[in-house]
Amino acid sequence: MRVAQISPTYFDRDSILGGGERFVLELARSLAVNVPVTIITFSKPDLRPTVRSEGALEIRSYPAVRFLKGNRANPLSAAFLKDLRSFDCIHCHGYPNAITDLSILFAKLFRKKVFITDHHSGGVCASTYLSKLGIDTRRLIDGFLLLSEHNAQQYKSFQARARVIGAGVDSDHFYPQDIPRERRALFVGRLISVKGIDYLIEAVDRDIPLRVIGPSYDDRYFEHLQQLAVGKRVEFRTHASENELIREYASALVTVLPSVYRDRYGTVTSGELLGLVALESMACGTPVIATRCGGLPETIEDGVSGFLVPPNDPAALREKICFLFDRPEIARAMGEAGRKRVVNDFRWKAVAKRCMDVYTEALQR
């Protein structure tokens, strides 16, 4: 069995999806222990195709244009198709998008098995227009490999072909450090409105230091966050290396994920799919305060590894942050419980096995 993991973008300093891109890389690494795996991803249109290896994992990058409105998460290229014939399973990350559409078409023409993991990324493409005509290209998919039960609710009509594979974290890489804990809250993630960072900044005052780490994709929203932070002990960092990020998790008293279903601009989403940031924080022994949004309640045990609060509620965020600030021993115990939960329940090896089971069943059919 040869497996292609197709990702519109790659996990590096220029990442635009963060957790979604890391998911592809970590899953591919774990799969490559047992079967030949290639990550297929896309670069700027003026670059040449590249092939490189990372241990047993092969990574191929193809030049691509951005399909409509310059959306980096929705590239368009046909160059990769000529290299797909050697693969038995084609696993696409992101729907709907142009690359996934081409992969589905190729798989049906050449009798390959095609799978989708929905990371809530993509954009306008052929599937978008076909859906308006009542044609659902998802009917051509052999399997939906989903991140959470919350994610699975969006695929009820394809229940027979849907499987929750979950996500993982490298707990040997993300682990508690021998450094002091600071009386500080931490946010990690993309600086976009559906992450609810504005509610978090409203929740803190000069007695609650907050560090916000993540790239900005919306200048208007970033300016709004900076205005809200005036007079408060809020520090913004738009980039951190992985080692720096681990130290940030390990030195913070609590990580806060204030995601929302509806932001201040009226944008409505289906919520977080799972929350890799929560898993990374827990792996580093740091408790998490998160909203009851999307798949986050499947990750955090309320009152055990952290707290769950309603979305769009600064007062609730503030109450739980202050509770842990005033009780560092409870924060430490919750961090230890979170670390134990990650080690026991969120391992990439288990995620890869669930994928392999689905691939094998589809090939046997």
User: Alpha-carbon distance 332 to 319, whole Å?
Assistant: 18
Higher pLDDT, residue 73 or 206? 206
| Residue 322, pLDDT above cutoff 90 | yes
Span 248-276, mean pLDDT?
94
Reading the block at residue 358, the tokens are 């689905």
Q: Kindly report, residue by residue over 10-24, the tens digit of the pLDDT.
A: 755 554 445 678 899
pLDDT band at 270 (very low <50, low <70, confident <90, very high): confident
pLDDT recorded at residue 80:
96
CATH homologous superfamily for the domain 3-168+347-364: Glycogen Phosphorylase B; (3.40.50.2000)
Residue 75 has pLDDT above 90, yes or no: no
Decide if pLDDT at 89 tops 80: yes
SS (H, E, C) the chain: CCEEEECCCCCCCCCCCCHHHHHHHHHHHHHCCCCCEEEEEEECCCCCCEEEEECCEEEEEEECEECCCCCCCCEECCHHHHHHHHCCEEEEECCCCHHHHHHHHHHHHCCCEEEEECCCCCCCCHHHHHHHCCCCHHHHCCEEEECCHHHHHCCHHHHHHEEECCCCCCCCCCCCCCCCCCCCEEEECCECHHHCHHHHHHHCCCCCCEEEECCECCHHHHHHHHHHCCCCCEEEECCCCHHHHHHHHHHCCEEEECCCCECCCCCECCCCCCCHHHHHHHHCCCCEEEECCCCHHHHCCECCCEEEECCCCHHHHHHHHHHHHHCHHHHHHHHHHHHHHHHHHCCHHHHHHHHHHHHHHHHHC
CA-nearest of 141, 22, 147 to 41 is: 22
- Residue reference for tokens 């890391």: 22
Q: How far is CA 129 from the centre of its chain?
A: 26
- Angle formed by the axes of helices 328-345 and 314-326, nearest 10°: 100
pLDDT at 11: 59
* 339-362 average pLDDT score: 96
Say if residue 364's pLDDT is above 60.
Answer: yes
Range 326-340 average pLDDT: 98
Angle between helices 19-31 and 348-364 (to 10 degrees): 70
Give yes or no for residue 304 having a pLDDT over 70: yes
- Class for domain 185-345, per CATH? alpha beta
pLDDT digits (tens, 9 = 90+) for 163-207: 999 999 999 999 999 999 999 999 999 899 999 999 999 999 999
List, for residues 208-261, the tens digit of each pLDDT value: 999 999 988 889 999 999 999 999 999 999 989 889 999 999 999 999 999 999
Tell me, what's the pLDDT at 44? 84
pTM here is 0.91
113/278 Cα distance (integer angstroms): 32
Q: What is the pLDDT of residue 117?
A: 96
The mean pLDDT of 333-340, rounded to a whole number, is 98
Q: Report the percent of the chain where pLDDT is more than 90.
A: 80
Residue range(s) in the chain whose domain bears CATH number 3.40.50.2000: 3-168+347-364, 185-345
Whether the Cβ atoms of residue 296 and residue 343 lie closer than 8 Å to each other: no
- Kindly report, residue by residue over 105-138, the tens digit of the pLDDT: 999 999 999 999 998 877 788 888 888 888 999 9
For residues 157 and 25, what is the distance between their CA atoms, to the nearest angstrom?
29
Mean pLDDT (the chain, rounded):
93
Give the pLDDT mean for 97-102.
Answer: 94
Q: What pLDDT shows up at residue 112?
A: 97
